[in-house]
Amino acid sequence: MEREEFYGVTLSEKEPLAQYEMEEPTTTAEDQKLVIKQICLGAEAKNGEFNVVQVETRINQKETLKIPIAVLKAGETRALRPNVEFLNTSVTFKLIQGTGPVHMYGQNLYGQNLYGENSVEYGEVPWSENEEMDDEDDDEYDEEVSPPPQTNGKNGHKRK
């Protein structure tokens, strides 16, 4: 990583939009990544009011994606740690419900190969063919049964 900066913005009823514009790269190989680390509801938020933050970003040349990334409610959920990453794209954050304030912060990273150290490029094998997968650490999980998939936001798995 060549450079990193703090990123922070507050959304409110008066200012419900925040735009993050990607800078022009200094080299053709330079990547830019915005990482949202935490989203918190301000102390002056109305009790019981839902505050919904939506993100809008381009997913290709023709399409944009609009999706909520945080639903906060004073008295219940005041902070989230989403760790959402936006690589080489501009982003718009919008408070689509509630009066806020909602504070968002994270990092703006500049450098080469910002895909992450655990990322695997398309077509790349995550381990070499001569390397065997280590199953020793997995023994404690062998006896556990995975819960069934969620349906309508709930699953039928009950904890003992």
pLDDT tens per residue across all 160 residues of the chain: 578 899 999 999 999 999 998 876 666 667 888 999 999 999 999 999 999 999 999 888 889 999 999 999 988 889 999 989 988 888 999 999 999 999 999 998 887 666 654 343 434 444 444 444 454 545 544 455 555 554 444 444 454 4
User: What's the pLDDT score for residue 149?
Assistant: 53
According to CATH, the topology of domain 3-116 is Jelly Rolls (2.60.120)
DSSP β-bridge partners for residue 52: 71, 97
